[in-house]
Amino acid sequence: MTAMLNLNACQFGSTNVNNDNTGPNIWENPSVTGLNRLQPHSRNVRAMSVAYKKHLHGETEKVPIDTTINPCICLDSSSLDLQQSSPILTSKKGWQFRLFANPNCIPQNYILPLEEVGEEEKLTTWCEQSTQVPSNWTLTPSHKYRNQPSTATTNEEVEHNCSCNIHDPPRYTNVQMPFYTLYPHVPEKNPTGVYRLEFTLTKRGAWLGSDDNNRRRVILHLGGVESCHFIYLNGKFVGMSKDSKLPSEYDVTSMIRCDDTDDGDNAIPSSCTMNENNTLVIIATKYSDASFLEQQDHWRGMGGIHRSIFVYSIFREAFVEDVFCKANLILQPTSNSTTTTTTDDCDDGDVFLRRCTGRIDVQARIGRGWDERVEGRNIYYNEQIPYTMKRHHHQLGGDDDRDDVVFEYKMLFQVYDPDNLPLFDEGVDVSAAEANPLIKDVHQRFNLLSFSAVIPGYVRAWSDESPTLYRLEATLVQQERGKNVAEDTVVVDSFSTTIGFRSVEIQNRQLLINGQPVLIKGVNRHDHSPTGGKAVTLDEIRQDLMLMKEYNFNAIRTAHYPNDIYLYDLADELGLYVVDEANIECHGHYDFICREHSFSAAMLDRVQRMVIRDQNHPSIIGWSLGNEAGFASNHTMLYGWIKGYDSSRFVQYEGAHRPAWGQDPHNYERKGMGTDIICPMYPSIEEITEWAEEIAPRIHETRPFIMCEYAHAMGNSSGSLADYWKVIKDKKGLQGGFIWDFVDQGLLEKDADGNEYFAYGGDYEETPHDANFNINGMIGPDRKPHPAMIEFKKIAQPVAFSFMLHADKNDVTICVTNQRYFSSLDDLQWKWALKMHGFILEEGTSSFPKLMKPKTTESVTTSALKNAFERLSVGTVIQMGLEEVHLDIGVFRVGRTTRIKSVSELGKYPEVASEQFAICTRRKGNAIHFLPETFHHGPTKQNLFKDDKLSLSSNSCRALLSKQSTSFEYVIDSKTLIFGIRPNLFRASTDNDAVKQNGDQLNDSSKPLGNWLRMGLDCVCLDEVVTTGSPTSIISTANIYGQPTRQSYLGIALAEKLISSMGEEERHTKVHLGSLKQTINIDAFGALDVEMQFELNESLTDLPRVGIELTVPSELNETMFFADGPHENYSDRSNSSHAGVYEGSVSDSSTYVVPQEQGNRMNMRWIVLAESNGRGRLQVPKFDEDVKSTFLGAISGRQGVLIASTSDQMPQFAVSRHTDASLFSSRHVNELKDDQDRIFVRIDAAQRGLGSGSCGPQTLEQYKVNGGRYTISFCIKSFGYMPVK
């Protein structure tokens, strides 16, 4: 029988095979957070790896000195696959992987080097499958665990199969744990992955040192492993750690084997083993006691090594253990709060700040190898104590009878500006601080060093607008006591970090960044890749942050755990404020763990290691204690430690506003330690208004109000963003927040037919699960922005406009407001477009006032725009009031040195702001009058056919209608252009209406979907139809009824629960909803005028919509419309949409992961649906001599139909290949089947707003639809069809 590995033995430094434990399993013991793990530090290991690779390739650009001294190699699969001319680290097989049923099923020989394993054991227990690192084993394609049944449950069974058929799918849960076991215990079925890497390391001198005088230590760095991991190297136990989202490091110097290849003449001690492979084994359990601290709302237990692995080497006897630099921006006091600025105060006109002084406050540590023993006294007083090491002379190769040699170590500091120029003439040497007046408060206690130094001259501030970065370099030098400094000083280590000078303060209910109350336009971000799960690539991280900047976000909350260090590097570089959040969430045990003494050390460990790792990033303005983990003594301990260690940033925690027990509504009057920010989640607009106007002044609150989560972006969502921000900008103390969240957490899959879709909770047959509640991002899993992103971009734009029409109506003055806090608008340029009836008449470019100060408004006049007004007689048009005229403005980022004159060229640059002004409004869709006669002028008549249908005919066009129905057909000769029309009171529910896959929301009073289905709104019918006609019109009246449960929605939990809850009689009882009056008229040109008048029962509240659905042939698949656009918009998410003529194609209904209502446009004037003509897509033309000729030019050579509003109350519309019932019944986009014969045009008098009710406030009352009278008036006319001879 194969001996099994005992992971618990590692607590005693053993790999004993005896599984009889005397204590708890180490993976179920929260008091053990790690073994043999090195102290945390802020050294950027990834940057070391990149720079060392450049150094090896002879690249000449400047790299930080520590990376040229210290070798650092990445062990990721992608790095191992790269072929180098002189490889330092090679691996023939790469990473191999095997999955076991639980931590007790791992054979002992799995940690051993291959040469130490017997052939018989290899045959019975070995499994060699390649894998990628980083990755999640639940998603690795080569393993296919998700589709295979579980077979191995005992140790005996493990002996006879490779155990790679263990079923371990991805699991998504929100509040509930993915298993049913109380902490600290986890399920016995606890999938455990074993990773093996066999590799050879060359250049021994670089890694371990060439002799005893140059000894080095080798460090293994694991960026992130879920959830508890154990490391073995060449059969020996290295260490273990918990916390999936922070790195852990281990000293492997005594275990690593290193080849002496390419070491030249370096002597190799005879005791060293050479020319041997290394076998690195990393064992990761899916669950551990740490899982109870990691109950975040995302894919749980994805398993495995999901961040990069590195191995690096530094000097052993003494090295720079860590440097913490607070780069303080010292604002000069002024007589008032308003910043006084002149051009002399600015950096080339770009940054407006008072002249600022920089000061660095540095705490540094000198480390030493764990086996380096140092003599010391047993008592110390307040004195400066240099760091020294005594070494026996024989260690240096000398005679034994000579005196011992004492080496002194000291650290030298230098700060480099953005141009890589040193700021201190001779650096900072604290040992000579008395001779340098810039250096203050020096304290040296052997290996600990602390000091402050004023930067000579002035510094440029770091902010989101101007992310100016400096570099601090700390160099550790060694000198034999008594020797000449210049000749005998040896550099043994160096530490380099980017820094940024900025200040973070809280005063008078304001968060001040560099003295300014910057609004936090933030978003929460989970790590997520559609193909890698929690293993996110660097390209995906960069793509996320670039999108944030493009859409005017300025802040990130790392929800709900520390991110890869690369994200903070990018935030520093791009200019994004960061709230760095600890990996602590206990949502399912909300009141428990925050009070458990057994978890106190683990919680503190997570906070300390996060803060120390990330402490030097200027982008980080605040720390978060975690999320939804209750609030008790453990949290006040965390708060106290952070404030004691780093007072330069704020600390926030949402739970500090809750009652002492439970997650009941926020108590804003609760005081005490725990948070420097009032940071609730999902408060209503009414709630934040009450806080600003009444609560905060009454209790003398001094903290600002910044929502940690709001505007839940699940599916088609984020309604009322503009309403939130109107209050935020108007009320003192309200300072923004972080939208939940950034990316939909869908996993890319393919169905049996090869169609792609994104999977979510329940798609892997896992239980329990929370369905699609993790599909709540502003962008899709594929990083395609949702329309809500455009809405936020408009709200958060850096420049605002207003306009004033001159008295003669022939000119307009544009007023510009610089909404930035530190910068001019010199890097921006704007263009204008004058529109008539949605078509662009004329356009041009313009520049902003030079050196325009932040938070100021200036008027600008544009001669080209004035000339356009005069040339086009806009003033006359306005006075007559016959035309609809708009002025559009777009702002683009071109850079401070670029000026663009061409409109088309300017449009190639990133757009950062937009605005539209309605100069003259005309509501009715007069495009109908642009169309000529369809054919010859023919008689108008009414006929009664044998099949009981009424007909209106004119000019070869006919409207056919059954006497027992209001649905009609619109036919031109034998070509049917409108198949039918029906009243439409239902929409494919958004996730805010209710999560349709959550049956528990059926009876939730805040979710209207259940009530819609009970009333049968998804299947309305008309009864008691009465139809009368005249030679030119047909009038029909009918009663509207809902038919509950008439539609079947297999697999939609909420609908299925409704059916099961209703009795037989209730299911077959129609619900009276109101009445409908339909009037159809036909004119002499064949145009059909339609009026639909609804009288809905006054008792009906919160309806989805009131409208109609037209059906047209599928070949009318190209569209051009005059409405608000170009993107979809709704009554409570329309701030970013502008009236205009836009082209498009029929929606494929794949905007959202879960099919639902989408594609709506407000304020429809008209829409054209046309057939393809083989000469290119339908496009909005350039303006011709007048609007009519422009319109006719657009449809020239086309056949189709025009639908135009004929009422001052403009409707809204959407065009789709799917009915609402089809969208509602589908869980994924691959389930949608395009109708091959029909296209559906939905026209609404009203539609419910979106809100954010999936997790937060529902749709505001002013955006809801209730019973009453609604009218839709429109005209239908064909074009381009020739008469049949």
Catalytic residue numbers read 628, 709
C-alpha gyration radius of the chain: 35
Question: DSSP readout, 641-696?
Answer: HHHHH-TTSEEE-GGGGS-SSSSPSP-TT--STT-SSB--BS--HHHHHHIIIIIH
Q: Are 63 and 54 in contact (CB under 8 A)?
A: yes
As a whole number of angstroms, the distance between CA 194 and CA 96 comes to 8
DSSP 1181: P
**Cα 1057 from chain centroid (whole Å):** 34
As a whole number of angstroms, the distance between CA 533 and CA 749 comes to 12
Neighbours of 1175 (CB within 10 A): 7
How far, in Å, are 283, 537, 756, 903 from residue 299 at the CA level? 21, 17, 20, 46
Do the bridges between strand 1268-1279 and strand 1088-1096 make them parallel or antiparallel, or are there none, so unpaired?
antiparallel
Query: If DSSP codes are grouped into helix, strand and coil, which group holds residue 971?
Result: strand
493 DSSP β-pair partners:
476
Q: Are 97 and 130 in contact (CB under 8 A)?
A: yes
Q: State the number of CA atoms in the 13 A half-sphere of 332 facing the CB.
A: 11
Neighbours of 1060 (CB within 10 A): 9
Q: Are 39 and 145 in contact (CB under 8 A)?
A: no
Of 105, 71, 106, nearest to 89 (Cα)?
71
In the chain, DSSP finds a helix count (H) and a strand count (E) of 23, 60
As a whole number of angstroms, the distance between CA 928 and CA 1203 comes to 8
As a whole number of angstroms, the distance between CA 1008 and CA 1011 comes to 5
Q: Are 911 and 891 in contact (CB under 8 A)?
A: yes
Length of the chain: 1285
* Residues ≥6 apart with Cβ < 8 Å to 580: 558, 562, 568, 610, 611, 614, 620, 622, 623, 624
Of 287, 294, 171, nearest to 229 (Cα)?
287
- Residue bearing tokens 């006054």: 1098
Identify whether 1126 is preceded by a cis peptide bond (ω within 30 of 0): yes
- Residue bearing tokens 């699940």: 714
* Residues ≥6 apart with Cβ < 8 Å to 1047: 1018, 1019, 1055, 1221, 1225
- Three-state SS across 1263-1283? HCECCEEEEEEEEEEEECCCC
- Three-state SS across 555-613? EEECCCCCCCHHHHHHHHHHCCEEEEECCCECHHHCCCHHHCHHHHHHHHHHHHHHHHH
How far, in Å, are 183, 464, 1088 from residue 955 at the CA level? 79, 64, 11
99 DSSP β-pair partners:
193
Task: Say which amino acid occupies 967.
Answer: S
Query: If DSSP codes are grouped into helix, strand and coil, which group holds residue 111?
Result: helix
